[in-house]
Structure formats: structure tokens, C-alpha cells
Amino acid sequence: MKYNTIIFDLDGTLLNTLEDLTDSVNYALGKFGYPLRSIDEIRRFVGNGVKVLINLAVPNGTSAEESDKCLELYRKHYSENLQNKTRPYDGISEMLKCLKEMGIKLAVVSNKYDTAVKALCNDYFREFIEVAIGESQGVAKKPAPDSVYAALKVLGSNKEETLYVGDSDVDVHTAHNAGIKCVGVTWGFRNRDILKAEGANYIIDKPEDLLQYVK
């Protein structure tokens, strides 16, 4: 089966955002006098949206009110510093260019908040990505399939012709909940063993490996 539509996760799949995420989380934690987190801890915490990220980063027993204040501080700092160290992974831009030239329809669906998703996609991938959807109020976040369905509707694509590409267990579950085959990537925030255990249909080690699955 060859596919004509690809929906990508963003963090850990197209962009290495981990250092900027860590810096902004630690900025917020530091302002509250909380212990700082390592980059490997943040790697484990990301994937389920910003609220979950902060709830995991703050100390156990932190009140919901304090967590929300920390979250708002994180959001403000990250919105102003989201491109300090963030870069596309090696080979991503070249892969997207090849897909676009082949006529493949491309979208991003992420649990990062929507304004950040749109800003990053516009700055790095505006000539490639047709639709970029992030977390927003009133829309169930991944692994719910709602944002994937929204992307498919805008692209005019159907599930059978679509691949979802991501680096985490959340991405595998999102794809399967949407009735779409999943390609797991090993260069992101999780590892091959997790992707395999969670049921990724395909696993690739380099961006160019994705080209074999398209028409």
C-alpha cells in the first residue's frame, strides 16, 4: 500500500525542541523555588500536552493552583524563547521537499499548544506543511483522533491513504484511534523498543526512509 497523505507529530519528529522546552520549564520552576529538571526528565514528560508536562515537572504535592501559575509562567517564557535552540532534525527539510514535489499532502498534528505549533511550522516548514493543528480549548488532544480527523477534512484525504508519523507511544495510539497506520521514528524523544511495544506499523531510523511508503 502506498500513501498520498502524511500527518506528522512535531516535537521529537520534525523538530528537536527538547532544549528550549527544558529551559522554559526550568525557568518557571526556578521562579517558584522548585527543583530544576534534567533534559532526560523533560524528554520523558513531554507528549501529552503542556499541562501534563508542568504537572509532572513540579514537585509532588504541589497544589493545582500553584501548578497553573507555573504553567502560565512557562507559556509566557516559551512563547518568547521557542526558537533559541530548536532546529529540524537532520534530513527533515530535504525529506519534506521530496514529499511535496511528489504531490504528497502534508500536515502537522501536535499536543503542543496551537499558537506555538502554527508559529514553528510557519517559520520552518511553511512551503511544505499545508495544515498545522495544536492543542486548543474544546478539542480533545492526542491520543484522541479529533485533531487528526480535522486535518484530514481540510486536506480532503481519507484514512486509508494516510500515514501518521511520530516518535512516541502517544503518536502510535493516536494513529490507531484514528484508524490510520503509524510510522514510528527512532530519532525523537522515545526509543525503538517503546514504539515496537506500542504497536507502530512501521519503524524508521532516518527521515528519507519515509519515502518508500508514498505513491
Give the count of domains, the chain: 2
Burial of 81 (0-12, 13-18, 19+ CB in 10 A): middle
pLDDT band (50, 70, 90) for residue 21:
very high
For the residues 18-31, what does the mean pLDDT come to?
98
For this structure, is 9 an active site residue? yes
Per-residue pLDDT of 74-106, as tens digits, reads 999 999 999 999 999 999 999 999 999 999 999
Query: Does 66 share its domain with 119?
Result: no
Per-residue pLDDT of 100-128, as tens digits, reads 999 999 999 999 999 999 999 999 999 99
Amino acid 7 reads I
> Which one of 26, 54, 81 terminates a domain?
81
CB 215 within 8 A of CB 3: yes
Kindly name the residue from 9, 11, 20, 169 that is annotated as catalytic.
Answer: 9
Query: Does 161 share its domain with 193?
Result: yes
DSSP tag of 212 = G
CATH number at residue 97: 3.40.50.1000
Query: Does 10 share its domain with 24?
Result: no
Query: Does 76 share its domain with 136?
Result: no
Cα–Cα–Cα angle for 51, 27, 74, rounded to 5 degrees: 30
Give the span between the Cα atoms of 89 and 104, in whole angstroms. 20
CATH number at residue 22: 1.10.150.240
Q: What is the pLDDT of residue 2?
A: 85
pLDDT band (50, 70, 90) for residue 15:
very high
Task: Give backbone dihedrals phi and psi of 182, rounded to 5 degrees, phi first.
Answer: -115, 135
Per-residue pLDDT of 135-187, as tens digits, reads 988 889 999 999 999 999 999 999 999 999 999 999 999 999 999 999 999 99
Query: Does 71 share its domain with 111?
Result: no
Query: Does 208 share its domain with 194?
Result: yes
Query: Does 93 share its domain with 146?
Result: yes
> Which one of 62, 81, 100 terminates a domain?
81
Quote the domain boundaries for residue 24.
18-81
Query: Does 73 share its domain with 95?
Result: no
Give the span between the Cα atoms of 213 and 164, in whole angstroms. 12
Per-residue pLDDT of 36-71, as tens digits, reads 999 999 999 998 889 999 999 999 999 999 999 999
Q: What is the pLDDT of residue 134?
A: 95
